[in-house]
Amino acid sequence: MEQQKKIDIIIPAYHAQSTIGRTLGSLLMQTIIDQCSVYICNDTGGDDYKAFVDSFSPFMDVHEIVLPQNGGCGVARQYGIDNSTAPFFMCMDADDTLAGPFALITMLKYIEEDPKNCVITAAFLEELPGMKLVKHDNDMIWMHGKLYRRSFTDKYHIDFDEGRSNEDNGFNKTCLLCSSEEEKVVSIPDVVYFWHYKEDSITRINNYEYTYNQSFIGYTDEMIHAIKRAREE
């Protein structure tokens, strides 16, 4: 009988054919990839990822699951979380990579060494034009470089709503509001993730139109969602 995997890796994918191979390659080199399941969450962009699943499945446990309709990154992530079962999970974007073969085992070590540790947030490097790298420490905005204990998010019903802006922030803010000395969010200094530059990303296209017309409004909505959820719990 196959032993249950320890980590589920959730990758929302929408028109990600040109980049997801690099993302999966960085997962393949992980020292504990045999303890992980990878879920490509196809956000119904008209593409399929069967070729990638076929290429990588001889070497790691990888699946494509297709959403019933397009919902955005948050909905796709939630679909992956709801359709997986490992005790820990992390989320990756389909155009990013992990920072070396010890990224996953580093976060797993920290979360397993103390049952009070429920979220591990590690450092990550953001790539900017001209090969400039910016290090982000103690970040609880993005989903990048974090490992979550499923029993914690299940206990407090921490999930993504249907918003398409700042959904990372809403999820992580709920984690912070529900945390305590008995159920901790722990920041570690290790760099585990590379956030790659993409000229046509949603946050950069149309002269950063997204920031001014969607992001600020989305931030407000997500903070309301987080506070309501934490108060309910």
pLDDT in tens, 71-80: 999 999 999 9
Distances (CA, A) of 187 to 31, 107, 176: 22, 10, 12
pTM of the predicted protein model: 0.93
8 contacts 85 by C-beta, under 8 angstroms: yes
Percent of the chain scored above 70 by pLDDT? 93
What is d(CA 4, CA 37) in angstroms, rounded to the nearest whole number?
Answer: 9
Average pLDDT for the chain: 93
pLDDT tens digits, residue range 156-202?
999 998 888 899 999 999 999 999 999 999 999 999 999 999 776 65
pLDDT tens digits, residue range 11-38?
999 999 999 999 999 999 999 999 999 9
What is d(CA 196, CA 45) in angstroms, rounded to the nearest whole number?
Answer: 21
Whose tokens are 């990303």? That residue is 201
**DSSP state for residue 148 in the 8-state scheme:** E
The angle at the Cα of 67, spanning 122 to 145, to the nearest 5 degrees, equals: 5
What is d(CA 121, CA 142) in angstroms, rounded to the nearest whole number?
Answer: 10
pLDDT at 211 over 80: no
What is d(CA 155, CA 176) in angstroms, rounded to the nearest whole number?
Answer: 14
> Quick one: pLDDT band at residue 217, thresholds 50, 70, 90?
confident
**Between 110 and 164, whose confidence is greater?**
110
Strands (E) in 162-201, as ranges, are: 184-195
**DSSP state for residue 94 in the 8-state scheme:** T
- Token pair listed for 70: 């397009």
